[in-house]
């Protein structure tokens, strides 16, 4: 399959083009099978796509009842006295999906899944990590690190996090037959979901992540939390290795802040320093890798178009 970069004029045009791709893939796949598993991201990038998809489902252009959705990630440590309160916190990714897509649908999806981060009590998690240092190790080259819990952890709580939260979510994806198409965004440092820069690719499929300071600062700067002390310090997330096992991955990027990581992911050799660069390996192994980016996010790619195309990556410029 080709590795393709589609360049749109602006955010609205990007959303329209990406939604068209997703809708066509769903329709084509449902001609061959009875259900479609759709991987979903949160953040600003997919919001326009979700509005297009909701209109298509509500117009019965696509059968919502045949869609299973599986989300990328969820915070650990949102305010709230219990899992339900945390899941319905306005900054939870569960709440985001209800607001931006699920709640817009007149006919609901067959089933929806968001990682079960809200079940984890962050204060207890920290206490257990501190009390049982031999039960886990931190992996990553930066401050954002994967907390890898041993399968034979002495702490019942840490072992529960691994088996019933992380391993069980990966098993859910496997039992669904994998993801047919995954919509993802890109972080300012080239990360996907909470697979932070510096976390290795291999062996990190479902992650418990201690968040990078930059990620927390961006959450505050973007208005999601009033101050650093209000922001969660952990999250659970699919890792790049698991994300890029979908049969098709559509990466969205908008705005000048994304220009550098988008270009680096295409022009530099794959590296955990830019987690979305794993898409190169995915495409080489036969995955269908499609970037849909606006002109601002494509700035550095267009400046080095010859070098990008020399790597076997197709560019489709729709900005005229």
Please write the tens of the pLDDT for every residue from 17-54. 999 999 999 999 999 999 999 999 999 999 999 999 99
| Residue 320 confidence (pLDDT) above 70 | yes
Between CA 75 and CA 116 the distance in angstroms is: 9
Instruction: Using CA atoms of 283, 44, 51, 275 in order, give the dihedral in degrees to the nearest 10.
Output: 10
Return all residues near 269 (Cβ < 8 A) that are at least 6 apart: 277, 280
Alpha helices in 31-77 (DSSP H): 47-58
Which tokens go with 166?
A: 């992380």
Closest CA to 74 of 245, 193, 227, 196: 193
Q: Phi and psi dihedrals of 292, rounded to 5?
A: -125, 110
Across the range 166-176, mean pLDDT stands at 97
Question: Whole-prediction pTM value?
Answer: 0.95
Which tokens go with 294?
A: 């606006």
Entry field: residues in the chain: 320
Closest CA to 43 of 188, 181, 178, 214: 188
pLDDT of residue 75: 96
Return all residues near 100 (Cβ < 8 A) that are at least 6 apart: 42, 46, 47, 50, 51
CATH number of the domain at 3-317, out of 3.90.1150.10, 3.40.50.2300, 3.30.505.50, 3.40.50.1360? 3.40.50.1360
| Residue 1 confidence (pLDDT) above 80 | no
Instruction: Using CA atoms of 243, 245, 248, 254 in order, give the dihedral in degrees to the nearest 10.
Output: 20
Q: Domain map of the chain by residue range?
A: 3-317
Across the range 65-75, mean pLDDT stands at 98
Closest CA to 208 of 271, 163, 156: 163
pLDDT per residue as tens digits for the range 141-170: 888 899 999 999 999 999 999 999 999 999
Between CA 225 and CA 87 the distance in angstroms is: 16
């Amino acid at each position: 399959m080709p590795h393709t970069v589609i360049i749109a004029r602006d955010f609205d045009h990007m959303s329209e083009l990406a939604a068209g791709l997703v809708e066509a893939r769903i329709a084509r796949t449902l001609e061959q099978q009875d259900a479609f598993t759709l991987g979903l991201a949160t953040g600003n990038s997919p919001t326009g796509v979700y509005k297009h998809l909701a209109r298509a489902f509500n117009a019965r252009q696509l059968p919502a009842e045949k869609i299973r959705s599986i989300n990328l990630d969820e915070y650990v440590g949102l305010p709230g006295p219990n899992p339900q309160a945390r899941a319905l916190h306005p900054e939870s990714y569960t709440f985001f999906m209800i607001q931006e897509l699920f709640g817009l649908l007149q006919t609901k999806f067959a089933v929806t899944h968001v990682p079960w981060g809200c079940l984890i009590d962050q204060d207890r998690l920290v206490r257990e990590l501190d009390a049982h240092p031999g039960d886990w190790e931190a992996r990553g080259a930066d401050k954002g690190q994967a907390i890898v819990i041993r399968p034979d952890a002495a702490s019942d709580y840490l072992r529960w996090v691994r088996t019933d939260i992380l391993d069980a979510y990966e098993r859910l994806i496997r039992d669904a037959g994998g993801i047919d198409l995954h919509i993802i965004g890109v972080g300012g440092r080239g990360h996907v979901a909470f697979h932070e820069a510096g976390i290795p690719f291999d062996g990190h499929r479902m992650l418990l992540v201690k968040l990078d300071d930059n990620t927390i600062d961006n959450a505050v700067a973007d208005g999601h939390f009033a101050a650093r002390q209000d922001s969660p310090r952990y999250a659970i997330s699919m890792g790049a290795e698991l994300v890029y096992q979908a049969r098709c991955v559509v990466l969205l990027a908008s705005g000048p802040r994304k220009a550098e990581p988008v270009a680096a992911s295409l022009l530099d050799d794959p590296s955990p320093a830019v987690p979305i660069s794993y898409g190169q390996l995915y495409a080489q192994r036969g995955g269908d890798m499609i970037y849909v980016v606006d002109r601002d996010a494509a700035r550095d790619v267009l400046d080095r178009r010859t070098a990008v195309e020399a790597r076997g990556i197709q560019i489709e410029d729709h900005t005229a």
